[in-house]
């Protein structure tokens, strides 16, 4: 059930940037559009469909506001509108970058609706927002009309409002493509030539996060902004943007208030310090996570495991996703922090670690010493593990009680040398694609009661009770340990 604050006086207009397939140039166009709008004085709210952590970093640079995700699979379709209105509050216009192809979503063998669950089309219909289709024009000529006709008529609930022709080869090529668009009655909202210099370096999981790429990311966003300013019809795109119906606004304070505090807090009401890992190695996270932690009463302090120690008074630690395999040597060199994490875990202190966070808690990563909280080793592996998981918590933890059901997401190219470790129970159970049971992750037993570590990414907005539970655990631990 969604709890929410009062309805706003009016919804923010939005436009969705989609494509027929991955690799069509959505990120370049969406990011550039955000930057171009901002340059004209428009306050832009940036969004990304799905569980992607990397694109929102570039959106943040372009829009000057936090990039947020809209993922009906992980948070439920009923939360998309409230989360959108929360993230768009105070803006003039929202730009939503899609995921994969317009109608690509979670694969469900029993699904019959053309709009796949979690797809860009699904989110567009939930928001009541028009779609601009970015088409990679290489190899297209008159037959583009047939492709556009298919996308425009595939589902009547999706409103295709225009086309951006990307990677156009010549003036003659543009003329032919424009004729194809006119044939199906779709306006051309931009014509972008082939420009290889705008490509942003990538690695095994996609683009390099903006937080790692530093000045180069800033320059790339500036180039995208300049490109969009020169090639997109910004006034026309603003004109087609429209607002969906008014509705409730997601409110983190209301969300965590809806879940009662655990009795273990003993009435202790001080704000526990929750240390959240950041920096170059831990860049994967949702803005709503910090908002919920603070709403639940935590004092959130971000630290960089490459350089820093745990903040003074830390009673809970959050280790989000990222790329520790790219920074393993630097992480290993911070002996003090690794020792502090071992001590915190041994004392029963709450630790919530996902993916990269799990790797940092292992004993070894590609031959580099990690914190050693969990006595397993990890290594880079070439097969990509990717997809949503319908998971159930199989043991009580500082985050989830046993029996909690979530939809999470795996996204990694690392592997552990063992799925289990002495002193730990499994965190999650689910069925694999072959139907076989899978046990994954680690929940602390004797001596590590506060640890919850897993490859599975979860969205905190989908399970605010877990954030409240974690903050309560941190508060109770601080109250009983003289560590405040």
Closest CA to 30 of 7, 10, 8, 52: 52
DSSP assignment of 48-93 equals EESS-SSHHHHHHHHHSS--EEE-HHHH-GGGHHHHHHHHHTT-SE
Annotate 307-332 with b (16+ C-beta within 10 A) or e (fewer). ebebbeebbbbbbbbbbbbbbbebbb
Rounded-to-integer distance, Cα 309 and Cα 316, Å = 14
Q: Cα 11–12–13 angle (5° rounding)?
A: 115
Q: Is 253 left (phi over 0), alpha (psi -120 to 50) or beta?
A: alpha
Tokens encoding 320: 């989000």
Number of Cβ atoms within 10 Å of the Cβ of 453: 29
Number of helices (H) and strands (E) in the chain: give both, helices first.
15, 24
Q: Which of 163, 355, 467, 479 is catalytic?
A: 355
Query: Does residue 355 have an active-site annotation?
Result: yes
Annotate 279-302 with b (16+ C-beta within 10 A) or e (fewer). bbbbbbbbbbbbbbbbbbbbbbbe
Positions annotated as catalytic residues are 355
């Amino acid at each position: 059930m969604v709890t929410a604050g009062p309805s706003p006086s009016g919804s923010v207009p939005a436009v969705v940037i989609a494509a027929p397939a991955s690799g069509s140039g959505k990120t370049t166009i969406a990011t550039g559009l955000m930057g171009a709008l901002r340059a004209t004085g428009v306050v832009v709210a940036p969004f990304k469909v799905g569980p992607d952590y990397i694109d929102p970093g570039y959106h943040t640079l372009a829009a000057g506001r936090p990039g947020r995700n809209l993922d009906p699979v992980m948070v439920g379709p009923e939360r998309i509108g409230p989360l959108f209105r929360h993230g768009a509050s105070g803006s003039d216009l929202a730009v939503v970058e899609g995921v994969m192809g317009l109608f690509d979503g979670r694969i469900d063998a029993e699904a019959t609706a053309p709009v796949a669950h979690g797809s860009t089309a699904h989110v567009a219909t939930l928001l009541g927002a028009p779609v601009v289709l970015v088409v990679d024009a290489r190899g297209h000529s008159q037959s583009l009309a047939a492709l556009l006709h298919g996308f425009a008529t595939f589902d009547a609930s999706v409103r295709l409002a225009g086309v951006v022709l990307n990677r156009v080869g010549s003036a003659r090529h543009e003329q032919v493509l424009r004729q194809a668009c006119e044939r199906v009655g779709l306006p051309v909202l931009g014509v972008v030539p082939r420009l290889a210099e705008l490509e942003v370096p990538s690695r095994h999981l996609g683009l390099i996060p903006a937080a790692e790429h530093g000045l180069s990311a800033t320059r790339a966003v500036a180039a995208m902004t300049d490109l969009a300013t020169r090639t997109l019809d910004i006034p026309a795109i603003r004109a087609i943007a429209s607002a969906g119906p008014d509705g409730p606004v997601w409110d983190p304070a209301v969300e965590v208030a809806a879940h009662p505090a655990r009795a273990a807090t003993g009435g202790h009401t001080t704000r526990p310090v929750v240390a959240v890992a950041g920096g170059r190695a831990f860049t994967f996270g949702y803005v709503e996570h910090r908002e919920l932690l603070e709403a639940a009463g935590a004092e959130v302090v971000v630290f960089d495991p490459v350089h820093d120690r745990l903040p003074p008074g830390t009673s809970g630690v959050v280790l989000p996703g990222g790329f520790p395999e790219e920074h393993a040597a630097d992480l290993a060199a911070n002996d003090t922090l690794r020792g502090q994490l071992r001590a915190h875990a041994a004392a029963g202190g709450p630790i919530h670690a996902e993916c990269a966070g799990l790797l940092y808690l292992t004993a070894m990563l590609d031959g580099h010493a990690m914190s050693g909280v969990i006595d397993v080793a990890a290594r880079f592996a070439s097969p990509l593990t990717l997809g949503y998981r319908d998971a159930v918590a199989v043991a009580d933890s500082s985050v989830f009680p046993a029996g909690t059901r979530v939809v999470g997401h795996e996204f990694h190219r690392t592997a552990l040398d063992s799925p289990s470790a002495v002193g730990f129970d499994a965190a999650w159970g689910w069925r694999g694609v072959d139907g076989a049971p899978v046990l994954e992750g680690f929940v602390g037993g004797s001596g590590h009661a506060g640890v919850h570590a897993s490859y599975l990414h979860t969205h905190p907005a989908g399970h605010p009770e877990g954030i409240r539970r974690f903050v309560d655990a941190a508060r109770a631990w601080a109250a009983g340990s003289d560590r405040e």
